[in-house]
Structure formats: structure tokens, C-alpha cells
Chains A and B, each alone.
Chain A
Amino acid sequence: MSIRDFLNRRDKDRELDEEIQAHLSMAIRDRIERGEDPREAERAACREFGNRALIQETTRNEWGWGWLEEFWHDARYAFRGMRSNPVFTAVAVSSLALGIGANTAIFTLVYAVLLRPLPVAHPEQLVELLQKYPGEPRGNGYWSERSVDHYRQHNHVFASITGMGIDNRAQLRIDSPESRFGVAEHVLNNYFVELGIRPALGRLIGPQDGKDNAVTVISWNLWASRFHNDPAVLGKTIHIDNKPMAIIGVTPREFAGMRIDAKTDVWIPANEVNGYNLIARLKPGVTLTQARAEMEQLFRFTIEERAARSTDPLVQQLRVEVEPCGTGFSKIRDRMGDPLTLLMAVVGVLLLLACVNVASMMLARGAARAREMALRLGLGASRGRLIRQALTEALLLSGAGTLAGAVVAWFGTGLLLRIIASGRPAERIQLEVGPEPPVLLFAAAVAMLTGLLFGLVPAWAALRSLPAFALRPSGRTSETRFSRYIGRALVTAQVALSVLLLGSGALFISHLLHLRSADLGFRRDHLLLVNLDPSIPGIRGEQLAQIYKQFLDRMNTIPGVRLASLSAPTPLHGAGASGFGTAEGVPQRFEERRRISISWVGPRYFETMNTPLLAGREFTLQDHSNPRIAIINSTVARHLFGDRDPLGKRITLDGVTGTREPSTYEIVGVAGDTNYMEIREKERRGIFLPAFRTGRVTAGTFLLRTDVDPESVTAAARRAVAEIAPTIPVTNITTLTEQIEATIVTERLMATLSGFFAVLGALLAGIGIYGLLAYTVARRTNEIGIRMALGATRAGVVSMIVKEALVIVGAGIAVGIPIALWGQTLAAKFLAEQMAVPVTSFFLGSLVILAVALLAAYFPAQRAAAVDPMESLRHE
């Protein structure tokens, strides 16, 4: 019989009922026709027919769903058990839900970031070519067209090389005069062929398309959102960066470029791209090692090409890296991969803890039900049948846990994505995550495994108890030494696991706190950043400088604002400029040249930022006429001038981002070191130039040092701008704290989650200890009664219970700490820097779990102390 029959079995039941009813009707009719009294006939027919329900039952058995029926009975029985024990059920289901939910949520991310293959042909053969400066993250996207040609001609390891330039802020204009920003890829014409992408509509850019072909392929998303999937889109013209392009095709829905953290909207033929991302396909049989070896040889070409145009000595130290990219470009993996793997390990521990928790609870319940089990065994139930019953209960619990866990995962994933999305705009991640089949499979597998794990232990323990013992009038002897041993081992494991979770939570939180309190060279709180875009009304030059001076004056008068200044870029914004500095009259070896970060700042900048001025003076508005002045920080002063006084000396900047000409400045001040781009900077070399110069201003961001909550002056700042220059839009207002927080998204993610998991872990362990002790007290009520009758004091009884708790916690800590230390060395390999003292954090974790254990022991101890000797002995 098929499953469909099973689902239709209500109908089959009805049909059988009708069949039997027809049988009876015919029998009665026959009897009446033979002359019997109708009522007598009916009674006789029924009597002759026999036990109708039983006959239906045996007939149904022929349908062959016996095991399903049995399962159904077990499930109903288990369900009744769950309902009659709501606290147990709630704790078990919610701890499983949190364990499974957290695992699914993190795995959803892990899958999207690390594992999901791109929808391209043979993704496993794809590699990307990256360049790396020592001490900096590696990057794709800096390859020249000449390098591409060189590699294509000289390599023996790649079947093909293709590439594209990515423009994340391309202007797209479709059908309407307004444009919006989108992502455009400028692709080499073998891009789609080599990736093996087939168009959803029309054709893709191919070898027949020259550099100047004004054609474009659009994404499915764009096609759906702007063209409502209209096939007539082919041949239409859209404007990309103000150039008209004819649409020739649409990519398939699942393909949105090689990046998993961003979606491409349009593809156009590459023409004068100044930095290519390169993708290569390995020849069959060629290993990654071979490809790396050959690329290291070929890379000399690029180094020489770069060195010819650069004055940076570090160019010689550039390295090439070849990395698989079948799951997308490695950039996001480099950034998120290790933290995600660590988090996966942490939630794995949490799930294990949840399982152990439920197992120990079920064990305690199993012991309480040992009599029932023994009775059923005695009445002839097979052991297999009882194990099946126990497994059904466990599976039902884990099934309920999975369902609730799916809800947790849904919200959890949303929360994770929100934390991740709070990063810097340029690093913001748009992940496409959803209930992918592998993720659901993972959740289901976890649930099943959990079910098997904690279903078998209690069943096994129950079956090891002998029926004869269990059925003795005093049910307390039913507990075997075996199950008591297991029970304690499980709670000890819970303590050990939660020490692990508490330790890692403390570690990540202290790491975050450490970053938050790290000295960046300025005060990070109470500072509002007001960003404007004067390029939109097109105001510039002297006019803009006048307006900006008015802005500064006005902002200085806003109530609550102590001081206002101006800076471009602002600290840790994530953008910047740099150049090489040479001190006049001080010879410098080429290898010693280092980049110096440049900031253009307004008057009283250092006072606004609370950065100490070590020598000299700040810029003033009077410097307007004398723009060739600079303030250097103490690292630059030491590097270029050694012990000599830099004030009044001259410094020359060359190789400045975006300019060619070197220029010379007179040093008027020396300031303390400050961080420029990142919260972690090994070398903080900085130079400050005046924002206000003759006839112009570097239109930076206004910095408002406030005495009040900086957010509270937001409206006043907007008003000030609107009153002075209503045409200049305020593009963004944020606080410096927020801007800094955006740079430590990963750390925040780790701290938030591991902290949350640590609390959960402590809670679960607390419940475990409480459950064990409560059970112990219940089991030993008469023993305690006897002890008290024989003269034991209440304090003695309490200390007996507390001692049991302490022994378990001690054992758990003793087991947990070495594992935690081992895990910490493992984690240290993942994390770039040494984190705050681990010993302290595990000590802290142990203290917390000790406190939790004492709290958990309190109520059972109370109950034990309240035992009335007379009452308890009557119990017997």
C-alpha cells in the first residue's frame, strides 16, 4: 500500500464501515424475507456477524500500515506525556530550539559565505589572482590589461583567463530622467563563455563584441524590477554613466556576478578599465600548487610594470596569490570566514550542551518511569518495542525543537544580517540567504542526531534495570548505579561545556571592550559628524569656502556644541589619501620611504578631537593666505627628523593619491599620533594640511564636539545648514562612535553571539544541576529523614546537597578548563591578534558557573532541609 493510501485511510475506514454495513443490511433483509421479525432479525444478524470493531481492526491490519499505526500510537502517547509534564517539555523544547536555531542561523551564513558554489560551469576549476602587500589584506582588482595579455600568452596552467572591472557606483538611467546607482561590470569578452553562463533571454556578451560595442546585458533582477520580465526589453536602450547602451540579453536568475556579497546589475564590454579582477580556469589535471608556482614566475612582469610607475619601495615586495573562487571572490571569506568558523564551533558546543541537557532530563524522567517500563516489560512488551517508544518520544521532542528552532533561525539570521549590515558602506554585505535545501537538511540532520543521541541513553538505562527490582514496593531502589553514574556524568558534561561557552564569551567580550577602549589618539564619544554634498548644487571655490566658514561659525553657536571643526577624511571613515614625505635637507634611503596618511583639517581641529598638540600651533582661518603649512604627528616627526625640532622645517610630499606634482610645506605643529583608517594600526604616520586654502576649501565633514548627547544636536545642525545654504544637501549625520563601531562589525558579532550563548549555556547548566539535585533530594527523602531522625542537623543536610553540587561543578570545571584552553589556542590561530588574557576569562567563567550552581542548589537544599523525619519515614 502506498503512502497515498495511508493518507486516505480515513476514506478507507469509511469504506470498510460501509462494506460491513451493507453486509449486515443484506443479512437482515434475508432474515426478514425468511419470515423473521425485523427487530429479531437485526439482533440475530449482528450476533452472527460478531465483534464489529474487532473485525474492522483485523481487516485494517491487512492494509499493512501496522508500523505506522504503532508509530502513531507512540507519538500520541508521547504527546500526552509531554502535555502532562509542561515544564519538562518547555525546557527541553526551548533548549533544543535555541541550539538548533542558532546552529541553523550560523550555518545559513557559513553556507552562503563559505560553501555555496556559484552557478557557473565547473566552479571547482575556477581560481582568482590576487596581489598582496606585506601586512595588508590581499586584493583582486588591480590588474592591468597588459598583465592580462602577458599571462594569457605565457602561462601553461590555465585553460583560460578572463576578468572584469567592477564599478559599484555606476549611474544607471532607465526610461526616466532620474538616474540611480547600480553595480556595473566591465567584462572581457570571453567572460560569459568561460564561466559557462547561458542567457535567460537574448544573448550574452561574447567574442563578437568589440570594446566599443554599445551593448549591455542586464541582470534578471533589473529585468524583473524595471521591465516586469517583458521579453521586448531586447534592443531597448538604457544609459550607463551617461552612455546609451542597447540591451542584448538577460542573465539567468541565479547568476548575479562573481561576488556573493553584492549583486551586479549590468554587464558591458570592458573598455579602458584601470583595474581588472582576474579569474582563471585551471587546465584539467593542473593543481593549485603548480598554478601558484607558475604565477610567481610570471608575476615579475606585473611587478616591473608597477615599479616603473611607482615611487613606493613596497612594490618590490608585492606577492601574487592564486585562490580557488568557485564559491565567489575570496574577499568576504578572508574577512568573515574565520570568525564564522569560530562561531560555528561555539554554537556546536551550545547544541551539544542542549542535547546533554535534554538527555539528562530524560534520564531523570526515565528513572521516574522505570516502574512503568518494568511493568510493560513484565506484561510482555518487547525491549525493541520499548526502545522504539523511547525513540519516538525523543524524535517528537527534537521535531518540536526543530520547528521552534526554525523560527529561532529565521529571526536569528535576520539579526545576524542586521549586525553584518551595520558595517562601513563600502564593506556592506548584501547576502542572499534563505532556506536553501542544504541548510534545511543540516537542521533536519542535527535534529535527528539529537533525537537519537538523547533518546537512546534513557531507553538503555531503563532497560538495564531489572523488572523484579523496579516492581518492588519501594520504587526508589529501581534506580541502578549505572543510570545514577550516567546522570552525574551528563551534568558534569553540562558544566564543562558551559565553562567553555562562558570562557569564550568572556574572551570575545573582553576583546571587544578592549577595542572599544583602545587609545585611538582622540576622544571618540560626544562627537557628531555632519556630512554635506556641495557638488550637487555645484558650489565650489571661493564661494564654497565662504559658505563653509559661515557653517563653522554657526555650528559653534549651537547650544550644546562646545567646538566645531572640519576634516577630510574623518577618522576611521574607511577612505583616505597618502603620499611619501621627505624632510628638506635630510637624505632618505629609497627603502625607507613610507606612505604618510593625509588629512585636510579646519581650525582648532586638534582641540575638537581632543588630540594633544605636542609642539607648535593649530591652523587658523588666518592661514588662508599662507596655505603651504602642515602639522605632522609624532611618528612622522621621529621618522623624518629624529631628535631635531621639526618646527619651521620643510616637508615635501610626493606620490600623493590623485596628484602628480610634489609639493612642499612648512611644519607649524606636531600632534599626537591618531588612528586613520582602522582601529588597529601598527604604524600611525600622519600629516595634516589646512582645509581652508587660498580661494578654496577641501569640503570635508563637520565635526561637532558636544557637551550633550551628540544625537540631540542633529536637528540644530541640519537647521544651520538649511539656513545658510538650503541648496546643499546634508547627506549623512552620524556619530564618531557609530563610525568606529562600523569598523568592528565582526568583533561585535562575535561578542554579542558568544555572550548570548554563554548566558544560555550557564542557564542550561543551571537547569541541569537543579534537575539533578531536585531528583536526588526526592530520591533520598527517606534517607534524609533517617539521618535527621538520628540527629543530623539541617545545616548538615544542606551542606550534603551543596557538597554534591560542588563536586559536580568542580569536576565540570576540571574537565572544561583544559578543553577551553585547548580551544583557545585553536581560536588564536584564527584571530589575527592575541586577545586579552584567556586565563582570566576562564577563571571568570568558572566563577559564574559556580554561582549558578549554588543558586541551582539552593532550592533542592531548602527542600531537603525542610524534610520532616516522621513524614518521610511514613512515606516508606
Chain B
Amino acid sequence: MAKPEGYKNRIELLQGTLDMLILQTLRWGPQHGYGIAQAIRAGSGEVLQVETGSLYPALHRLEKQSWIRSEWKSTEHNQRAKYYELTAAGRKHLAAEFDRWTQLSAAIAGLMEPKEQS
């Protein structure tokens, strides 16, 4: 399926990263799938796009691992939607993931932009 032209500048996310971003998004409160996608897109200045094909499997995977839980609620427009919410375990997992990511990105940054040659 050909992708619409408008999306070609956006970066697709690796699975582990997507999980972390979803958890991060949910730190600010319960949110439904559409809202999470919008939040990541907006929060990244339209750079990061979340494929629904990755988003929903990720949400169901996280829920299965009890890092998030879900509940059906109404939106402000009276639309029924499934809201996801961070659990205590999810919070802990997010912290650990964030640490790992920080280390990893520091390491990659170190490799990619060497500050001084020894």
C-alpha cells in the first residue's frame, strides 16, 4: 500500500521506543489510542508518527504485561472510547526503560559526534 506523500518526512518508531513513548504519554493521565497517537505527534513537533498498525498491538501488549490498564469512558464529545491508564508497575517499567534509553542515546551520541580524539 503506497504511503501518502505527506508522511514521508516522518520517522517510524522502533517497537521498544514506541512502548516507552506510550508509557510516557500516559504519565499525564488516561488517554485513548487516538489521543496517544495525536499526543506523540504533537509532542514531537509532527516529527514522530505512530502507525496504528504498531500502536494497537503495542497497547494490547502493554496491557497484557499489566503496565497499563484500560477502561471504557466517554470523551468530551460523548464518544465512547477505550482509555488506557498507567499502572504502578508501568511507572516502574517506564523509569527503567528511560534509564536504559538515556544510556543508549548517550552512547550512540558519543559514537556519532566524537567530542575529542584521544
Contacts and interface: CB of A to CB of B under 8 A. Distances in A.
Contacts of A26: 32, 34-35, 75, 77, 79, 81
B1 interface: yes
Chain B binding surface SS class: helix
Interface in B1-52: 1, 4, 32-35, 38, 51-52
A261 to B, nearest CB: 57
B80 interface: yes
A43 to B, nearest CB: 11
Contact of B52 (A22, A50, A62, A63): A50
B52 A29 contact: no
B114 interface: no
B52 A49 contact: yes
Nearest to A48: B4
B68 to A, nearest CB: 13
Contact of A58 (B53, B79, B81): B53
A61 B35 CA distance: 23
A359 to B, nearest CB: 41
A55 B53 contact: yes
Contacts of A47: 4
B80 A50 contact: no
Contacts of B51: 50
Contacts of B75: 26
Given A22-B79, A22-B80, A50-B51, A64 B64 contact: yes
Interface in A559-579: none
A19 B72 CA distance: 9
Given A20-B56, A50-B52, A58-B57, A25 B64 contact: no
Contact of A22 (B38, B53, B59, B82): B82
A19 B81 contact: yes
A371 to B, nearest CB: 34
A1 B66 CA distance: 11
Contacts of A296: none
A497 B53 CA distance: 59
A62 B19 CA distance: 14
A1 B32 CA distance: 22
Nearest to A56: B56
Query: Range of interface residues on chain B?
Result: 20 to 34
B57 A15 contact: no
Contacts of A25: 79
B60 interface: yes
A58 B15 CA distance: 14
Contacts of B34: 22-23, 26-27
A23 B64 contact: no
B93 interface: no
A59 B59 CA distance: 9
Nearest to A47: B4
A1 B57 CA distance: 15
Contact of A1 (B59, B64, B77): B64
A317 interface: no
B61 interface: yes
A457 to B, nearest CB: 39
A50 B75 CA distance: 23
A63 B64 contact: yes
A683 B107 CA distance: 105
Nearest to B49: A48
B80 to A, nearest CB: 6
A15 B59 CA distance: 14
A18 interface: yes
A58 B81 CA distance: 20
Contact of B64 (A16, A58, A62): A62
Interface string A754-778: 0000000000000000000000000
B55 to A, nearest CB: 9
B48 to A, nearest CB: 15
Interface string A9-48: 0000001101110110111011000000000000000011
A868 B17 CA distance: 70
Contacts of B53: 50-51, 54-55, 58
A55 B56 CA distance: 7
16 contacts: A19-B56, A19-B81, A19-B82, A20-B52, A22-B33, A23-B33, A48-B4, A48-B52, A50-B1, A50-B51, A59-B56, A59-B57, A59-B59, A59-B60, A62-B61, A63-B60
Given A22-B32, A50-B52, A55-B56, 14 more contacts: A15-B82, A18-B80, A19-B56, A20-B56, A22-B81, A26-B75, A30-B38, A50-B51, A50-B53, A58-B53, A59-B60, A61-B57, A62-B61, A64-B64
